[in-house]
Amino acid sequence: MQLIGIWAVIAATLGPIQNVLGWGISGALWPGYDPIAKTISDLAADDSPVKWIQSSFFLFGSLLTLVGAWSARAFALPGRIALGLAGVAGLGYTFYATPSQIGYSDEHRFYATVAFVLFSAWPILAMRFDKRYHWALRPVGAISASITMGLTTLWFLLTWLEPGQPIVGLSERVIAVMQVMWLSFAIWAQYLHQQKATRTKSVSLEGEELLG
């Protein structure tokens, strides 16, 4: 059984915290900012007064995703590659920031869309069939997660790409939190699962030695 490395656990612990803190702090420091109607990307736009704060959280989140992709060896390789590419896409949408509150960047939208899609697809791509893995990585968990996040991502993208949508910020935050929470849950669940398996194996070996 492939294992979850400690660096993946650290990334999974910090991921949800930095995700919410990023747009929470940035939004609080911008008087009049509406988190329901405006996207997280608006916080990192070129004309945003908190551009570098939100951009720093974007970069940190992308780094954590890359660390998770590298260290979560329990995930099947295609899923790890998808997460790695999602992390690279995060660097892309940070570098190609939205130019203004009333404009948009094709490059930013491309990288952001790629990141959201890959974050929805990775559970199926990382799926395992062996019962030694936690159910979150097996078909029941992986397929359900990808379908749920895929539909929510579609909802967000449809609101994002249609000008004037009053809840685009809300829809983005729903899928952003959902995606990072599932990744963190899958990593922690598998880590605890493998720790339990290791302890069970150790007890069995000790029992065999005593009987022997």
Tens of pLDDT along 44-76? 999 999 999 999 999 999 999 999 999 999 999
Is residue 206 pLDDT above 80, yes or no? no
Task: Tell me the average pLDDT across 31-40.
Answer: 94
pLDDT at 205: 45
Task: Tell me the average pLDDT across 35-39.
Answer: 94
Is residue 91 pLDDT above 60, yes or no? yes
Percent of the chain scoring above 90 in pLDDT: 83
pLDDT at 212: 54
C-alpha to C-alpha distance for 107 and 138, rounded to whole angstroms: 35
pLDDT at 200: 63
**Residue 120 exposure: Cα atoms within 13 Å on the Cβ side:** 20
Phi, psi (deg, nearest 5) at residue 4: -90, 120
Phi, psi (deg, nearest 5) at residue 72: -85, 70
| 1-19 tens-digit pLDDT | 678 999 999 999 999 999 9
Provide the pLDDT confidence category of residue 103 given band limits of 50, 70 and 90: confident
Distances (CA, A) of 160 to 17, 53, 126, 165: 24, 22, 28, 7
| 130-173 tens-digit pLDDT | 888 999 999 999 999 999 999 999 999 999 888 778 999 999 99
> Residue 142, SS3?
helix
Is residue 209 pLDDT above 60, yes or no? no
